[in-house]
Amino acid sequence: MGGSVTKVAPNPDDGVEVRTPETLQWQDPTRIFKEIDVDSDQTISCDELKSALQKQGYDDVVFATLMGELDLDSDGCITIDEWRKGFYASSFVHVRPPAAEDFADLHGAQRGGCTIAETAKRAITGAQLQRVCSHICRRCKPEGWADKSGKQRTPGTVTLYDAARFVIKPA
């Protein structure tokens, strides 16, 4: 689902406020689901999704991509559970890091990831936190990170939400 490399790009028309991946990542997926589900039957049909996307200026390729990513059981409609599971990971919302970013500075001496089953044991060391802070300092200003209202961030004003958006999720 989130591994798709499809680039979503709207074709804005008639002054409509277009929802882009950069703006959608801050939206409440349940509210958007309700907007698209015009018949309020708790599912988004193909027609409802296609209509909503067309109003935003998106083409049939985007529609087909999203149906493929979000309709997990391939029954031709998207339930609220499918929507919630796939919304932020879909190509419609996922903001990719800069092409040249490999996040190597976050790895330190340890390469590769790991799985820690017990939530209580998922901690970060001081050295790991320092690497994250250095990574934020290196990328924040040059890339022009901004919050959901468009206010520019500095390394000192980056929040955990920003770190999740620009560092954690993409890495």
Check whether domain 29-94 has CATH 3.30.70.20, yes or no? no
Query: Which residue carries 């935003």 as its tokens?
Result: 56
Residue 30 · residue 64 · CB < 8 Å = no
Sketch the domain layout of the chain as residue ranges. 29-94, 125-170
Residue 5: predicted pLDDT: 34
Residue 143: predicted pLDDT: 84
pLDDT tens-digit map of 32-82: 899 899 999 999 999 999 998 888 888 888 888 888 888 989 999 999 988
pLDDT tens-digit map of 74-102: 999 999 988 888 876 676 666 667 778 88
pLDDT > 80? residue 146? no
Cα within 13 Å of Cα(140), Cβ side: 20
Arithmetic mean of pLDDT over the chain: 78
Average pLDDT over residues 112-130: 78
Whole-number CA gyration radius for the chain: 18
Residue 43 · residue 78 · CB < 8 Å = yes
**What is d(CA 75, CA 86) in angstroms, rounded to the nearest whole number?**
15
Residue 144: predicted pLDDT: 83
SS3 32: helix
